[in-house]
Amino acid sequence: YKYQCTSSILVSVLFQYSLGLNWPTFYVWVQQVDGVWPLPQQLDQSADRNSLSPQRFSFTYGRDSAAQTGCSVLDAAFKRYFSIIFPDFTKGSAMLTTLYSCFVVADNLSVSEGQAVLRSVTVWGALRGLESFSQLVYQDDYGSYFINKTEIVDFPRFAFRGLLLDTSRHYLPLHAILKTLDAMAYSKFNVFHWHIVDDPSFPYQSRTFPDLSNKGAFHPFTHVYTQSDVMRVIEHARMRGIRVIPEFDSPGHTQSWGKGQPNLLTPCYKGDVPSGSFGPVDPTVDTTYKFMESLLKEVKFVFPDSYVHLGGDEVSFACWQSNPNVRTFMEKMGFGKDFTKLESFYMERTSIVWQDVFDYHERIPQDTVLEIWKGETYQAELSRMTKAGHRVLLSAPWYINHISYGQDWRNSYAVQPQNFSGTEEQKKLVIGGEVAMWGEYVDATNLNPRLWPRACAAAERLWSDEEKTLNADLAFPRLEKFRCELLRRGIQAEPLFVGHCKHEYDGL
């Protein structure tokens, strides 16, 4: 994403945060309690504490900072985090004078009473550092603010830390998506995987093919995402250091597409006559590829990320097999009766796809990223896919739309993404993973409680040092504290167990 500031910056926030060329690294000198979620790579705290006065607190760019003339992403973040750190304070002239300040500086780290330094090579690392800083500030029973002297060195373990929302099975209003992005930033997720369309509905409002949503959405006016809605989501995410990767899953999961695009889906046959039902996208006709080329050209224009997820999962071959025109095409192409080859023919040009494409086919571009979703065999899949030289995302153990009684976050926390049979080079091909929240039984009424704080377990697994975070019992107090912090920030995070928070969610 383009942003209005240089990539070399430094910000003072009671700790210094620096990002390397490949991984972010931040150094912090501050004061606090109970730690940060997700756990930093290194965190040392002392009992020494300094008081913070909201009336005399400010974020300031250092004199030697490359961003000292201002950076739109950080300027907005300073205002946002001021409100997060001091939620009960009415601003007024709060940021005119400085008692406890944060500076952006260059090539140095200074810590003294009343001042802290956040150092980062990139704007995105600075955002993560601001989040860590915000979690270090706490209040006593009288409402006074404090921060303990702390030193942090931090960087994420995996580059891709994603969360999937499904907006086809149930429409999620814009405010629910934006709030999810806020909570993602608090947990240091950096990729929003937007499963925007599927069989049940097509809420994406296309300019090129308006009938896709006019006829395929649950409602053509109230249950759609306009181009301006999409732009708002992308900008909201960008300001929080989150990429937006849309998914337009095909050739299966496309029943809603067929309502607005004639002759796209394969007519199913019963004997020698059409049955009146339709199957996956018809891969045997040129019009299919012309349509997909036009649609994806628009999608690539609307969504600036370099990746588009093209799905390719759960394709039923029964309809293709019943259709005489498809069978004739199969014979012409020399595919015999192997319908996986027909899907391969359709899916050859891809970017990110579900694991089915690898399971069924061999002709996959080497730069295709494969996403594992089948839970029982994901270690074996990791081994096979990385052996073939593909980059891989792990999602299978983090399908948290499934729920159970008790602390099921512990199952997510116990996942070890690189624990499979393979060389060190293979394990480097695991570029991250993502939490999936599928929408069969989820809409805006239960989205946040089902997501949070359960998704936080995967967030720490994808960010933190595995050796330091395998003990869920040790993690529980930090997660319990972070859950209370989410409540304070307006996120309806469900309870982990019996207890209470100082700031309970009041629904207002």
Q: pLDDT tens digits, the chain, 508 residues: what are they? A: 333 444 344 444 333 322 233 344 444 443 334 579 999 998 888 888 888 889 888 888 877 777 666 789 999 999 999 999 998 875 444 333 333 444 433 334 233 466 778 888 888 988 999 999 899 989 998 889 988 888 888 899 999 999 999 999 999 999 999 999 999 999 999 999 999 999 999 999 999 999 999 999 999 999 999 999 999 999 999 999 999 999 999 999 999 999 999 999 999 999 989 999 999 999 999 999 999 999 999 999 999 998 999 898 888 999 999 999 999 999 999 999 999 888 888 876 567 898 988 888 657 888 889 999 997 789 999 999 999 999 999 999 999 999 999 999 999 999 999 999 999 999 999 999 999 999 999 999 999 999 999 999 999 999 999 999 999 999 999 999 999 999 999 999 999 999 999 989 876 5
- What pLDDT is stored for residue 350 in this prediction? 61
Question: What CA–CA distance (Å, rounded) separates 303 from 365?
Answer: 22
- What pLDDT is stored for residue 25 in this prediction? 44
Q: For residue 289, what are the contacts with CB-CB under 8 A and spacing of at least 6?
A: none
- What pLDDT is stored for residue 363 in this prediction? 72
Residue of 113, 131, 235, 314 marked catalytic: 314
Write the single-letter amino acid at 96: L
**Where does the chain hold its CATH 3.30.379.10 domain(s)?**
9-154
Structure tokens at 446: 């239960």
> For the chain, how far is it from start to end, CA to CA, in angstroms?
34
Query: Exposure of 49 by Cβ count < 10 A (0-12 exposed, 13-18 middle, 19+ buried)?
Result: middle
- What pLDDT is stored for residue 2 in this prediction? 38
- What pLDDT is stored for residue 81 in this prediction? 95
Helix H or strand E encompassing 47:
strand 42-52
Burial 266-292 (b: 16+ CB within 10 A, else e): bbbbeeeeeeeebbbbbbbbeebeebb
**Where does the chain hold its CATH 3.20.20.80 domain(s)?**
160-488
Domain 160-488 has CATH 3.30.1360.200: no
CB 464 within 8 A of CB 483: no
Supply the DSSP symbol for 226.
-
Structure tokens at 251: 């050739």
493: β partners: none
Spell out the alpha helix ranges (H) of 62-122.
72-85
Question: What CA–CA distance (Å, rounded) separates 309 from 245?
Answer: 7
- What pLDDT is stored for residue 113 in this prediction? 61
Report the relative pairing of strands 9-11 and 115-120 from DSSP bridges: antiparallel
Minimal CA–CA distance to 163: which of 353, 420, 389, 399? 399
Structure tokens at 353: 């796809």
314 is catalytic: yes
Cis preceding linkage at 251, omega within 30? yes
- What pLDDT is stored for residue 349 in this prediction? 57
Structure tokens at 424: 């060190």
Q: What is the SS3 assignment for 276?
A: strand
Write the single-letter amino acid at 9: I
Helix H or strand E encompassing 166:
strand 160-166
Supply the DSSP symbol for 398.
G
- What pLDDT is stored for residue 330 in this prediction? 92
The reported pTM is 0.90
CB 25 within 8 A of CB 154: yes
Q: Say which CATH superfamily domain 9-154 falls into.
A: Chitobiase/beta-hexosaminidase domain 2-like (3.30.379.10)
Write the single-letter amino acid at 67: A
Q: How would you classify residue 470: left for phi > 0, otherwise alpha for psi between -120 and 50, otherwise beta?
A: alpha
Question: What CA–CA distance (Å, rounded) separates 27 from 44?
Answer: 10
Question: What CA–CA distance (Å, rounded) separates 458 from 202?
Answer: 29
CB 496 within 8 A of CB 481: no
CB 149 within 8 A of CB 49: yes
Residue 460 dihedral angles phi and psi, to the nearest 5°? -70, -35
Contacts of the segment 269-273: beta carbons below 8 A, 24+ positions apart? 269/322, 269/323, 269/324, 270/322, 272/324
Residue 457 dihedral angles phi and psi, to the nearest 5°? -65, -45
Helix H or strand E encompassing 256:
helix 255-260
CB 282 within 8 A of CB 326: yes
- What pLDDT is stored for residue 29 in this prediction? 40
